[in-house]
Amino acid sequence: MSDSQPTWVPFLFRYSTRQIKFAPGAALELGDVAAARDARSAVLVTDAFFTGSEALARIVQALEKKRVATTVHAVPNHEPDTESVAACRGVLQAVQPELIAALGGGSTMDTAKVARILLSNPGDVAHMASFDRYFAPHDSLFVCIPTTAGTASEVSEMAVISKAGSDIKLRYRSQNMSAAIAILDPELLVSMPPQVTAHTGFDAFTHAFESYTSRLASPVTDPLARASLHRILEWLPIAYDEPDNLIARGECLIGSTLAGVVFNSTQLGLAHAISAPLGAMNRVIHGLGNALALPAVTAFNELELGDKHEALCAMLGTERVADGVARLRARLGLDQGLDDFVEGEKHAAIADAALKSGNITTNPRLPEHRDMMAILQAMRVPLKDESPHDRLRQAYAAG
Ligand SMILES: [Fe+2]
């Protein structure tokens, strides 16, 4: 028997997607996927701006070649809300398809996820929102085909929907809600503009980063989170500079999906706890909200990262983790200040909302209200060449 005994920390790893298919052009395999299941009818749920696109026409053609009657339903181009879900559910109820496929960003995938699971769990869209409710499975085959590398909704067991006409975010979670098959096709991402690449890519980076440092990280999630971080750090700046670089798009897509596989089990951290109310109360784009928060949040967490500290410094190429996070943010044109989006008097309300987030409990260091106010203060203006640590220290001194 060895002298050195491992220190075990109990863990739970959860995962529900059955297959992840990756290849350039893989979206066209949707016809084969339908045929393998002997599906004769399909609803393709897609972003409104995708309608009329050549990519969509080719996917519909691939389904029809296999004699799958296909209905296309377009989700409006705004944050998914209870009305988008109700409209999608209406189409699914009318068609009763054997295959439901979501082609789009996180909004479209989340809309399809919730609309589909409500077919086997009747009830009001808003009243059914829950992280703990049992959702009975639905018979249809559910496939997600992401067109961004950010939300990882294609493998996540969660969906977030706004309550129409309000700031309220409704959260759903079930292993029966996830896609059975995720199809990753980097060709769908090559036309994404640099700013969207930066926003969605920084969201994916924050997923990988906060999963890796989460209190629920485990021997199963750590290698996947590291693989995700390595890919995103190497290839996201290239995808940002060269939108047509298929290799960079593919590596970022794999990195984003890996982070989603991980955060089902680990949850996220304080940057996501802050970006959620920034999005709900101030309409700050989700990935940008994470970019505004992560350097200051990392400076706050830095001393609690344990043996992950050295690993992260090696990956980032800096002596302090927060400096590496700030450098990536600047490299992607995201060194911006909170003052451009939120008035100072709203900080207390954002701090209160963030402290109620489930992602606080998995953050490496538990913040109090005073800490939240200092972090928000440190986020107010771009860092330029300043260190996030110095900025946070000044914020505490000023507060
Ligand atoms: Fe996110």
**CATH assignment at residue 130:** 3.40.50.1970
Ligand 1 centre to CA of 207 (Å) is 6
Ligand 1 centre to CA of 279 (Å) is 11
- Position 1 pLDDT exceeds 60: no
Ligand 1 centre to CA of 154 (Å) is 13
Ligand 1 centre to CA of 180 (Å) is 21
Residues 154 and 239 in one domain: no
Ligand 1 centre to CA of 272 (Å) is 6
Residues 142 and 243 in one domain: no
Ligand 1 centre to CA of 2 (Å) is 42
Whole-model pTM?
0.96
Note the pLDDT tens digit of each residue in 286-295.
Answer: 999 999 999 9
Residues 142 and 80 in one domain: yes
Note the pLDDT tens digit of each residue in 324-353.
Answer: 999 999 999 999 999 999 998 999 999 999
Average pLDDT of the residues of the chain: 96
What pLDDT shows up at residue 49? 86
Ligand 1 centre to CA of 388 (Å) is 21
Residues 184 and 135 in one domain: yes
Domain presence at residue 27: yes
| Residues spanned by the domain of 88 | 19-189
Residues 133 and 244 in one domain: no
Ligand 1 centre to CA of 362 (Å) is 15
Ligand 1 centre to CA of 206 (Å) is 7
Residues 241 and 345 in one domain: yes
The token pair at 23 is 């290849």
Domains held by the chain: number? 2
Residues 158 and 213 in one domain: no
Question: Of the residues 168, 189, 210, which one is the last residue of a structural domain?
Answer: 189
Residues 60 and 110 in one domain: yes
Domain presence at residue 4: no
Ligand 1 centre to CA of 97 (Å) is 30
Residues 254 and 306 in one domain: yes
Which amino acid is present at 341? F
Residues 106 and 149 in one domain: yes
Ligand 1 centre to CA of 290 (Å) is 7
Residues 185 and 225 in one domain: no
Question: Of the residues 145, 160, 189, which one is the last residue of a structural domain?
Answer: 189
Note the pLDDT tens digit of each residue in 76-125.
Answer: 877 889 999 999 999 999 999 999 999 999 999 999 999 999 999 999 99
Determine the average pLDDT of the residues in 384-399.
Answer: 95
Domain presence at residue 8: no
Ligand 1 centre to CA of 204 (Å) is 7
Question: Of the residues 170, 189, 208, which one is the last residue of a structural domain?
Answer: 189
Residues 258 and 361 in one domain: yes
